[in-house]
Amino acid sequence: MPYDPSAFPPFAVTVDLVVLTVRKDALYALVVRRGEPPYQGRWALPGGFVRGDEGLEAAAARELTEETGLRSQALEDQDAGAHLEQLATYGAPQRDPRMRVVSVAYLVLAPDLPSPIAGGDARSARWAPTDTLLGAGDGGGWEAEQQVPLAFDHDEILRDGVERARSKIEYSSLATAFCPPEFTVGELRRVYEAVWGVALDPRNFHRKVTGTPGFLVPTGGTTTRQGGRPAQLFRAGGATLLNPPMLRPEV
């Protein structure tokens, strides 16, 4: 059967970013308020259209910088301590009212990300608790603003990104991507608690993470930044897969 261009209507490709960090011992996502139609005034994940002369990751880095002022080291330097991975592709026919749009979503995890500064077609940008964005938990005043779902299908994309992060820290060393280069076991435990949304027993957690081969490496230093007695400092080990895994508690 000969190729018929009229049988294939034009479509566009976009990138969307699920950028997660741990703030105030909770999991937060980066969101922007849209300044243009469609969904003008609604909150959304950062992202936008891929230009004809750029690749997907380049488009993701550009949109993140234009809309939020953040330059993700994960998108520029895979050895910088942050984490980047392609999350999924979303292509429902009616997901964008303008035209047929296929979006490639990326998951970015990083520690200590600064406050965003809105730009481009974003009216404002902020960090928001993922539990509140997805309809659960106390957002510290966010509920007054967040009366409707995120724009487009970004609720689904965000939910997929959060679940990917939750499942991956069970069997990989990904949780250390939320930590500074040197961290304590207590700081790592709070990452697990923030991502999973549960409280963990400190003694059992310490025994598991320090007993998992290749997970943590002592630096030889200590810190009192948590208050109290000096705590031993660790860095991420060379293991990428954890054996045994850190299984998520049933809730």
Instruction: Please give the domain boundaries of the chain with CATH numbers for all domains.
Output: 5-164 (3.90.79.10), 172-236 (1.10.10.10)
Weakest mean pLDDT among 32-46, 67-81, 170-184, 186-200: 67-81
pLDDT at position 103, please?
97
Beta strands in the chain (DSSP E): 11-23, 26-34, 43-44, 47-49, 83-90, 100-109, 122-129, 216-223, 231-236
pTM given for the model = 0.88
Average pLDDT, the chain: 87
